[in-house]
Structure 1
């Protein structure tokens, strides 16, 4: 089994310093929730987010949703040959149980994640854990996984192709994809990556890289 980590993902509840902003209060009121219970989303909170730390990496939970859907709707995941983790920019880690079906509707996904933040776990009637969130740094997550190789994707990496990379992914490897819109991995992330690759001269969104990389990897083990 290999692991996939969406690192520094743009997924967080409303920061305390923004919860009194008019755009945040208005949006929370429309949802019938408190500001502290909703996800930060620059589609609604753009004005509130201006100037906050790591602004370009925050407020895009929709991109995280796309990436999760790409990773959990393929044979590799459905046959339990990949383990998915979402590491957030504020050092939370969401772990996924086996064959978890994430809502395809973003608004339903948003509700599930907000519930997860409140309850810490989402379980079935049989007490099987579907999703769990906990405070954990990226280095600690890597320590827990203990992968044989850590492969990352960045425009700063060595140029290669999905096909070449896929052929050299060993059992128990870990693939790192940025879960943010713009920018590069922080030093604490990049320092843990053993092989950093670039695919082409353009910067692709995470869900595109996931779809193409995992498809090529599936070809090496299923075909």
Structure 2
């Protein structure tokens, strides 16, 4: 079983500091929602975000949308070899049911996440939970997953390759891989502190979804999932 955690994801509701900004209020009015129930989105709230701390890491829900679509639709997930978690830039965690089928449309995805933040789970009622917002930090998530090794992927890490990294991960019973789901910049100290090792898989920085897809593919080869009879 491989645990992939998308860390410091640029996923949050509009913070109170900018709730009265014209661009925020205009977008909220258009959607018919209170400003504080809308996702922070750089493409809509660019001018308002200039006054936010750590703004370069915030307001990019499109990144986690790409990552989740890739991971949930992968043979690695379909064979039951993958567990996915989201850790947000606000240090909250989101459980992702491996059977979740998320909207392909970006605006529908944002609406789903907005509902998740308001209700704490999606769907809001019923026995089946596809997404659940949990008020635990990254250290508590690591403790709950109890991995035997934690690797963080970063351009500042020890040089390696996707193939070498994947073979190394397959030697563990319950490894955890951290992929940064934010535009650019280093990990926060709290996030980096949970990692046993930081690895750089390419000489130049790569987009998160490229890292995600290449790693998943190499893990699938390593675990021989293409010859598995477990694919649903």
Q: What's the TM-score, normalizing by structure 2?
A: 0.93
Question: Do residues 160 (structure 1) and 160 (structure 2) align?
Answer: yes
Contact preservation (8 Å) 1:57, 1:180: yes
**Any unmatched runs of 5+ in structure 2?**
227-232
Contact preservation (8 Å) 1:124, 1:130: no
Aligned residue for 1:15? Answer: 15
Q: What's the offset of the Cα at 1:63?
A: 0.9
Q: What's the offset of the Cα at 1:124?
A: 8.6
Q: Which runs of 4+ in 1 moved over 2 A?
A: 123-126
Q: What's the offset of the Cα at 1:201?
A: 2.1
Q: What's the TM-score, normalizing by structure 1?
A: 0.97
**Alpha-carbon separation, structure 2, partners of 1:186 and 1:80:** 31
Question: Do residues 42 (structure 1) and 42 (structure 2) align?
Answer: yes
Alignment RMSD: 1.3
Contact preservation (8 Å) 1:80, 1:99: no
User: SS in structure 1 opposite 2:86?
Assistant: strand
- What does the per-residue CA deviation read over 1:14-65, in whole Å, with 9 as the maximum and x for residues that have no partner? 0011110000000111111110010000101000000311111001001111
Aligned residue for 2:181? Answer: 179
**Alpha-carbon separation, structure 1, partners of 2:155 and 2:96:** 28
User: 1:122-201 counterparts in 2 under 5 A?
Assistant: 122-123=122-123, 127-169=127-169, 170-201=172-203
User: 1:19-30 counterparts in 2 under 5 A?
Assistant: 19-30=19-30
Aligned residues: 223
Aligned residue for 1:73? Answer: 73
**Any unmatched runs of 5+ in structure 1?**
none
**Alpha-carbon separation, structure 1, partners of 2:116 and 2:91:** 15
Q: What's the offset of the Cα at 1:184?
A: 0.8
